[in-house]
């Protein structure tokens, strides 16, 4: 079997609510989804999702190769961009091809990916995550009540600017999840918006009346020493890693003792997840994938590793023209038996859509870092923040 080519499709996801974090939000609740289809001479097509900007530069590494040699091809892609580097969107394109190659390998074997990777149980424990910074308190309660109906007993809130607001909303989340547990898991995500001392002050205040399970991305992703100082200063675990690209970026964080829950961004692919999971397992640390909603292949990988803790479930639907063989129940994901990672694509339906103007990269969205992030004297500094290009005297 040989790889013969690839195609890219663009579709969209309707979340049904505004989504975002402390850095910004997308009011429309509509985002783009890129799909990579890798073709073979055996008539098997693999499906990948994620970043597609560097596919053309990477494709020579897998062109004409046997797609079943997935991990070797992963390293060939890394070697292909040896001088320029593989971080950022390039790593995302490697991840998209990687997902598609694993899909082909499992389809050729006639097995679901979770089984091919050695998983014993198709159930993947998860937690609810609303990307909920722009939801009203009532909307927040409704979202987490719906997730509680599906058995979820833990959830994650976005925040980091207003201590009193965040405390009130964390109680709303805890009350909803409390239907399924006497001690529900309550996580808090600041999306790299604090300095070390800001984080210590903020979390210490929240911990006066809340038992936080973890605090996620409290500091800039590369700040190994800062994360180590923080985890020694608060009760909650420190979770981070979703934006790190490659094992070499995890080593300083692990060596400094700066992470308690090792996270992996699902858009980076299956092979990256597996390697980071083993790196964490060697330190007796749990692994938690972020964003499996949009990158289903990693949920299959999570079922195969010994240290998987819980996976982020953000949405119960799927992108337009895409169907996924899975269910949500009992507080997690139940993976199906379809060979591959269970993602099917209706190319004709997607080709006839208008994408609804979907985009992640809007100025007011979560992928654009505000100019004053990490530069507030007090948490309630958001009233002084201005969009780029406006004047402020603070």
pLDDT tens digit string along 353-370?
Answer: 776 667 766 777 788 888
In the chain, the percentage of residues whose pLDDT exceeds 70 is: 94
Determine, yes or no, domain membership for 216. Answer: yes
CATH number of the domain that 312 lies in? 3.20.20.120
Cα 363 to Cα 378: distance, rounded to the nearest angstrom: 25
Determine, yes or no, domain membership for 187. Answer: yes
Distances (CA, A) of 363 to 35, 196, 311, 366, 371: 24, 27, 28, 8, 12
Provide the b/e sequence for 151-178 (b: ≥16 CB within 10 Å).
ebbbbbbbbbbbbeebeebbebbbebbe
Confirm if 285 and 259 have CB atoms less than 8 A apart. Answer: yes
**Count of domains observed in the chain:** 1
pLDDT at residue 61 greater than cutoff 90 = yes
Distances (CA, A) of 355 to 18, 48, 295, 323: 17, 19, 19, 17
pLDDT at residue 384 greater than cutoff 70 = no
Q: Minimal CA–CA distance to 274: which of 322, 321, 307?
A: 307
Two structure tokens written together for 49: 């999702």
Residues 6 or more apart in contact with residue 85 via CB below 8 angstroms: none
**What is the SS3 assignment for 205?**
helix
DSSP β-bridge partners for residue 185: 154
Determine, yes or no, domain membership for 67. Answer: no
Determine, yes or no, domain membership for 364. Answer: no
Cα 84 to Cα 86: distance, rounded to the nearest angstrom: 7
Two structure tokens written together for 335: 């993976």
pLDDT at residue 4 greater than cutoff 50 = yes
Least confident span in 44-48, 344-348, 387-391: 387-391
Two structure tokens written together for 180: 């399924």
**Half-sphere exposure in the Cβ direction for 368 (13 Å, CA):** 14
pLDDT at residue 40 greater than cutoff 60 = yes
pLDDT tens digit string along 181-217?
Answer: 999 999 999 999 999 999 999 999 999 999 999 999 9
pLDDT tens digit string along 8-30?
Answer: 999 999 999 999 999 999 999 99
Two structure tokens written together for 129: 């995550």
Cα 173 to Cα 140: distance, rounded to the nearest angstrom: 8
Determine, yes or no, domain membership for 107. Answer: no
Residues 6 or more apart in contact with residue 130 via CB below 8 angstroms: 17, 19, 140, 143, 144, 155, 156, 157, 158, 314
Determine, yes or no, domain membership for 382. Answer: no
Host domain of residue 214: 114-342
Determine, yes or no, domain membership for 297. Answer: yes
Cα 318 to Cα 325: distance, rounded to the nearest angstrom: 11
Determine, yes or no, domain membership for 218. Answer: yes
What is the predicted pLDDT for the residue at 191?
Answer: 97
What is the predicted pLDDT for the residue at 91?
Answer: 97
pLDDT band at residue 378 using 50, 70 and 90 as cut-offs: confident
Confirm if 296 and 114 have CB atoms less than 8 A apart. Answer: no
Q: Minimal CA–CA distance to 126: which of 143, 150, 161?
A: 150
What is the predicted pLDDT for the residue at 391?
Answer: 38
**What is the SS3 assignment for 139?**
helix
pTM for this entry: 0.94
pLDDT at residue 383 greater than cutoff 80 = no
């Amino acid at each position: 079997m040989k790889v013969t080519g690839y195609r890219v499709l663009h579709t969209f996801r309707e979340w049904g609510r505004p989504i975002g974090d402390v850095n910004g939000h997308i009011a429309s609740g509509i985002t783009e989804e890129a799909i990579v289809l890798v073709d073979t001479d055996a008539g098997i097509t693999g499906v990948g999702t994620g970043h597609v900007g560097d596919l053309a530069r990477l494709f020579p590494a897998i062109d004409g190769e046997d797609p079943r040699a997935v991990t070797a091809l992963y390293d060939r892609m890394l070697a292909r961009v040896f001088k320029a580097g593989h971080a950022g969107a390039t790593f995302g394109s490697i991840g998209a091809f990687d997902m598609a190659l694993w899909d082909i390998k499992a389809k050729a074997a006639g097995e679901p990916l979770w089984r091919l990777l050695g998983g014993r149980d198709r159930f993947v424990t998860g937690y609810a995550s609303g990307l909920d910074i722009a939801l009203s308190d009532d909307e927040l309660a409704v979202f987490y009540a719906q997730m509680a109906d599906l058995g979820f007993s833990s959830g994650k809130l976005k925040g980091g600017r207003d201590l009193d607001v965040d405390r009130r909303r964390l109680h709303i989340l805890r009350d909803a999840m409390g239907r399924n547990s006497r001690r529900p898991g309550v996580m808090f995500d600041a999306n790299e918006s604090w300095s070390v001392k800001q984080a210590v002050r903020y979390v210490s205040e929240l911990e006066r009346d809340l038992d936080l399970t973890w605090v996620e991305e409290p500091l800039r992703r590369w700040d190994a020493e800062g994360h180590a100082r923080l985890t020694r200063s608060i009760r909650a675990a420190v979770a981070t890693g979703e934006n790190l690209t490659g094992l070499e970026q995890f080593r300083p964080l692990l060596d400094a003792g700066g992470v308690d829950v090792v996270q992996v961004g699902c858009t980076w692919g299956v092979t990256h997840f597996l390697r980071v999971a083993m790196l964490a397992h060697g330190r007796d640390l749990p692994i938690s994938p972020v964003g499996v909603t949009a990158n289903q292949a990693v949920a299959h990988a999570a079922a195969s590793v010994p240290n998987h803790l819980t996976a982020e479930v953000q949405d119960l639907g799927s992108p337009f023209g895409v169907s996924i063989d899975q269910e949500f129940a009992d507080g997690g994901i139940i993976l199906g038996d379809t060979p591959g990672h269970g993602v099917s694509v209706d190319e004709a339906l997607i080709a006839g859509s208008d994408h609804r103007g979907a985009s992640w990269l809007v100025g007011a969205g979560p992928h654009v870092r505000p100019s004053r992030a990490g530069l507030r004297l007090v948490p309630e500094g958001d009233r002084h923040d201005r969009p780029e290009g406006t004047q402020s005297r603070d």
